[in-house]
Structure 1
Amino acid sequence: MKRLITLFLLVTLSFCGYASEEIELQDANIDLSDSKSLERGAKHFVTYCLGCHSVKHIRYQRMALDFGIDEKQLVKDVAPEGAGVYDQMYTAMNKHDAEKWFGVQPPDLSLIGRSRGADWLYSYLKGFYADKTKPLGTNNTVFKDVGMPNVFWELQGQQKPVFHLVDGQQQIEKLSMIEPGKLSEQEFDLLVTDLVNFLVYVGEPIQLERQRLGKYVLFFLLIFSVIAYKLKKEYWKDID
C-alpha cells in the first residue's frame, strides 16, 4: 500500500512539474474559410519553406479547387517555376544534401498542423531569438535547441530573450526586439497567420466539408434515435 501511495505522489508531482514548465501559447486566430488567407499562406510556404520542407499529400489542383480560383492562375501565382497543376509539393532538396547540411532530413509538414496544432505553430514561428551558443545562431521559446534556422529574420527582425527567476532558475519571460525587420509587427503577424492557416488546411483539406456534413449526420442520428425509441416502445408494449 505504501508503495502505491509513493508511486501516486511521484506521478502527481511529475505532472505538476511538467505543467509548470509548459509554454503559454499564443492564439493563432486562423480562419480556414478565408480562401485569400490560404492562398497567401501557400505562397509564403513556397517562398520560405519549400526549399527544405515538403507537403507531399497535397496537389496544386486540389488547392485551386478548395481556394476557388483557376488552376492555371494558382500555378502562376503560387507554385515554383516548372511546377504543374497536378504536381505534389515536394522540396527540391535531396536527402543527401539535407543530411550533409543539417545532419537530418527536414520533415515533411503535411500533418504538422494536426500533430502540433495552430497555436503551437503560430507561437513557434514567432518564437525565434538570437542565441550565439547555437550552431545556427538561433533558438526558440517553444522548441528549445531547435535545429532549424530562423528563415524570417529579415522580415521579423532579431529578438533577444528577457529572463526572470522562477524557483531559482532563469526562464524566458518575453522576447525583446533588438533589430527591426522589413515588416511591421502587424504585417509579420498576418504573414505567420496565413502560413499557419495553410499548414492546418493541408493537414485535412476536407475539414470544412466534414464539419458541414457532420451537422446533417447528427440530425439524422437524432431523428433515427426517436424512430428507434418509438419502435422499441411498440414492440415491447405487450411484454411490458
Structure 2
Amino acid sequence: MKKLLSTLALIGAATLALLAGPVWSSENIQLDRAPDNADNFASLQRGAQLFVNYCLNCHSANLMRYSRLTDLGISQKEIATNLLFTTDKVGNTMTVAMRPDDAKAWFGTAPPDLSVEARARSRDWLYTYLRSFYRDDTRPTGWNNRVFDNVSMPHVLWQLQGQRTAKFKDQIDEKSGEKTHEFVGFEQVTPGVLSPVDYDSAVADLVSYLSWMSEPTQKTRKQLGVWALLFLGVLSLFAWRLNAAYWKDIK
C-alpha cells in the first residue's frame, strides 16, 4: 500500500511540475502561455471575427457551421451581416473556395483545416506561433517563423503587428567546435495598426476562438464529468455497504 501511495505521489508531483514548468515546441523553443478566455464571450466573438477575416481566406473549418456561432451570443442576423461571404448561408460549414491543387501550387502545400487545430497543436503553440513571424527574403512568401521554421504560410496578420526581422548570432561550441545559429530577438521595422500589447490580446482572442471551435461542447462536457464522478462516488459507497451487508454472516 505504501509503495502504491509513493508511486501516486511521484506521478502527481511530475504532473504538477509539467503543468507549472515551461512548455517547449518540437524545435525546442519555449512556448508562451496562452491566456485562457474560454468563458469570455466578448473575446471569443472578436476571435471569430478575426478568424473569418484573416484565416478563412485559405483555411477551412469543415467541422464547424456558421450557425454554431450563436452559442457565443452572436445572432443569426449578425452572422449573416458581418461574418458570411456572399454565397454562404448561416447553416453552411466554414469552407473556402480555394482548391487544394491551387493552394499547393501557390504555397507548396495545402493549408490545413483548422477545425481541431487547437487540439492537435495546443493553445500555447498557436499563441506563440502567431506572434513569431518575421521578414525573411529567402523564403518564397517573404516570411518565416521561429516556431515553425521555413513555414509556407505568409504572415496574414502583418498589418496588425507590423513588420519585424529576427536577429541571430553565430555561436561556436568550445568542445565540439560546432557552429550554431542562435536567436537573439526580434527587431521592429515598421509599426502595425495595433500596439504590441493590443496585438498579443488580438492573438489571444483568435486562439481562444480556435480552441472553442475545436470542441464547442468542452465546457458542458467538463460540467457533466463532475456530476458523473460525484454519482459514481455515491454509487460506490452504496455498493461497498451492500457488499458488507451481503457477506456479514459468512466467515
Under a length normalisation based on structure 2, what TM-score does the superposition of the two structures give?
A: 0.83
Q: In structure 2, what is the Cα distance between the partners aligned to 1:170 and 1:145?
A: 15
Q: CA contact under 8 A between 1:46 and 1:80: conserved in structure 2?
A: no
| Residues 182 and 166 of structure 1: CA distance in aligned 2, closer, same or farther (over 3 Å) | farther
Q: In structure 1, what is the Cα distance between the partners aligned to 2:194 and 2:202?
A: 9
User: Post-superposition shift, 1:34?
Assistant: 1.2
Q: Percent identity?
A: 43
**Structure 1 runs (4+) greater than 6 angstroms displaced:** none
Deviations 1:121-159 (A, max 9, x none): 000000001111111111111001101111111110111
User: Post-superposition shift, 1:210?
Assistant: 0.6
Q: In structure 2, what is the Cα distance between the partners aligned to 1:211 and 1:192?
A: 25
Partner amino acid for 1:69?
A: I
Structure 2 segments unaligned to the other structure (5+ residues): 1-23, 174-178
Partner amino acid for 1:26?
A: D
| Residues 21 and 150 of structure 1: CA distance in aligned 2, closer, same or farther (over 3 Å) | closer
In the alignment, does 2:36 pair up with 1:30? yes
- Number of equivalenced pairs: 222
User: Post-superposition shift, 1:19?
Assistant: 9.0
- Other-structure match for 2:146: 141
Q: CA contact under 8 A between 2:108 and 2:152: conserved in structure 1?
A: no
User: Post-superposition shift, 1:21?
Assistant: 5.5
Structure 1 segments unaligned to the other structure (5+ residues): 1-17
| Residues 20 and 86 of structure 1: CA distance in aligned 2, closer, same or farther (over 3 Å) | closer
Q: CA contact under 8 A between 2:27 and 2:147: conserved in structure 1?
A: no
| 1:102 corresponds to which of 82, 107, 112 | 107
Deviations 1:74-112 (A, max 9, x none): 222222233211011001212232122123221111110
In the alignment, does 2:141 pair up with 1:161? no
Aligned-residue Cα RMSD (Å) equals 1.9
- Other-structure match for 2:183: 172
User: Post-superposition shift, 1:68?
Assistant: 2.3
Under a length normalisation based on structure 1, what TM-score does the superposition of the two structures give?
A: 0.86
Q: In structure 2, what is the Cα distance between the partners aligned to 1:230 and 1:159?
A: 67
User: Post-superposition shift, 1:169?
Assistant: 1.4
